[in-house]
Amino acid sequence: ARASPLVQFLSGRLSLCRTPQAGPKSILNRLSTMKSTNLHAVIAGGGLAGALLALVLAERGYKVTVIEKRADLRSEAAAGGRSINLALSERGLHALSIAGLRNEALKQTIPMRGRLIHGVDGSTKRLPYSSDPNEFIRSISRPGLNRLLLQAAGKHPHISLYFNSSVLSVSPGTQVVEFQPDGEPIQRVEYDLLFGADGAGSAVRASLGLESKDVFSREMLEHGYKELEMPALESGDFAMPHDALHIWPRGTYMLIALPNLDNSFTCTLFLPLDGDPGFNQLNDPGTVQAFFETQFPDAVPLLPNLQGDFFGNPTGMLGTIRCSSWTQFGNSLILGDAAHAVVPFFGQGMNCAFEDVSVLASMLDSNPETAWPELLSAFEAERIPNANAIADMALENYIEMRDLVADEGFQFRRRVGLELEQRFPDRFIPRYSLVSFNRVPYQEVQEMGRAQAAILEQLCASKSNIEEINWSQAENLVLSLPLIG
Ligand code: FAD
């Protein structure tokens, strides 16, 4: 098979994939010859990707300035408010280990070993993520993780952090970033390298001209989301089993819940913005109460502030951002959600953003003498197809979560998939596991997933019992798959 751009780059076989445009020649020469210790990297956004990137660059000798719009999360006051959590999996953990933060982050996580499905009648069913007890995803607080990264960044002598400061624009010609601290005059800072880690609404992306029609698309989902808190019981215990990701799948919509360290759960309702049912219909307390009591009856007694949360918390929007160009002028790059926001149904947005950082780190470490223009070109050649693949898989997974998980045929195919993994572990690892417990590039996972789905379809057709599976047919089919790893 053809080596991926990353493999070609690491083995020195990939030359410039794209000529950097219009950047003053002197800049490119400078970036080709200067040692990292002389280079100043400015990072717009001190969120998850930006803070991790700052650590990775500073450790490699760069002088780093991070400009973050929000208040400093290291102070408890700024971090207060709703607890929002995320599913952290292997790709994110690997990137955190590069920054030496894996163990610290793990202390803040709660293992989720499978999905716990809630029926309309209040019945529950557990669907494990893997047959290997060491494979599970973890719930972690978003502000808690961001705080951990910023605390480490704040202690690093090469990193300067600016909070309450919005990046307004970039002048690529003069290599200057304009930013404005709240209530103060506009300031300017020069850069040698610029990174846009400023999220889905990236100001850097717009300033660098990466939003033109031919390279950029933003596709909004017709579904939104609402976060609701399920507090700990009066006894202090979790209100539901805490070792699972809870799902109330209801066909065109769903409620999910992830556990928090304070024994609460953060629940999220994903629902059409305009539909029957839809957010447009849930306009008054009576309608909301009736909707929850009919659809999620076992959750209602555990949501004491349902009305307050429903009408107090915003309805969030979801979308997919794809850019076919992430770099400009040989000295600037967008990454994380700024380059590839995805819908949250595979729990991979942050994991993919962190993987951007770990791939960049491994490119820097493997070829320390490589010029930045070349490195950035190789980086985007490697990452863009993978970001597009997880964007597709995340959209598909919404249907799996809100609908298919409740379907017996789906549950049966999933069981057979886990059995195939046990029997043929070097050829068949289910797609969910390849995404969440491995670091096989997303694009390869997507291709393997299609082949696996076809095999499962063939093996499980008109069967409902694992004893009916023809294992010699299974072996023949699985042996047609390439070896993994
Ligand atoms: P962000 O986290 O958006 O950070 C960008 C930072 O830039 C912010 O701190 C922002 O304040 C700052 N900023 C913005 N504009 C400016 C400016 N002009 N100047 C300076 N600073 C600026 N991912 C997972 O891996 N697992 C999950 O389970 C998961 N669940 C999710 C659930 C929901 C409901 C949603 C919406 C997303 C979920 N995600 C999940 C996705 C994840 O939140 C994002 O992919 C991740 O936060 C991307 O990190 P980032 O640093 O690129 O962007």
Q: What is the pLDDT of residues 34-73, one digit of tens each?
A: 556 689 999 999 999 999 999 999 999 999 999 999 999 9
Pocket of ligand 1 (CB under 6 A): 44-50, 67-70, 86-87, 166-167, 197-199, 203, 225, 268, 316, 336-337, 344, 347-351, 353
- Whole-number pLDDT of residue 31: 63
Mutate to test the pocket of ligand 1, among 89, 350, 351 (most ligand atoms within 8 A of CB): 350
Q: Which residues of the chain have pLDDT under 70?
A: 1-37, 76-83
Ligand 1, atom 16, lies closest to the CA of 198
Cβ–Cβ under 8 Å, residues 378 and 9:
yes
**What is the rounded distance in angstroms from the CA atom of residue 445 to the CA atom of residue 68?**
34
Pairing state between β 110-112 and 176-181: unpaired
User: For 438-462, b where at least 16 C-beta lie within 10 A, e where not — what string?
Assistant: bbbbbbbbbebbebbeebbeebbee
* pLDDT value for 2: 46
Q: What is the pLDDT of residue 200?
A: 97
Query: For 133, which DSSP code?
Result: T
How much is the pTM? 0.93
Where in 85-182 does DSSP place strands (E)?
A: 85-88, 110-112, 114-118, 124-128, 137-141, 159-162, 165-171, 176-181
Tell me the percentage of the chain whose pLDDT exceeds 70. 91
In ligand 1, which atom is closest to the CA atom of 49? 51
pLDDT digits (tens, 9 = 90+) for 200-254: 999 999 999 999 988 999 999 999 999 999 999 999 999 999 999 999 999 999 9
Q: How many angstroms separate the CA atoms of 437 and 431, rounded?
A: 10
Of 270, 269, 306, the residue nearest 287 (C-alpha): 306
CB contact set of 309 (below 8 Å; sequence gap of 6+): 226, 227, 228, 229, 303
Residues contacting residue 446 through CB under 8 Å, at least 6 positions apart: 389, 392, 393
Task: Give distance in angstroms: CA of 466 to centre of ligand 1.
Answer: 42
179, 198, 326: residue to mutate for ligand 1 pocket, most atoms within 8 A of CB: 198
> Best of 138, 333, 337 to mutate for ligand 1, by most ligand atoms within 8 A of CB?
337
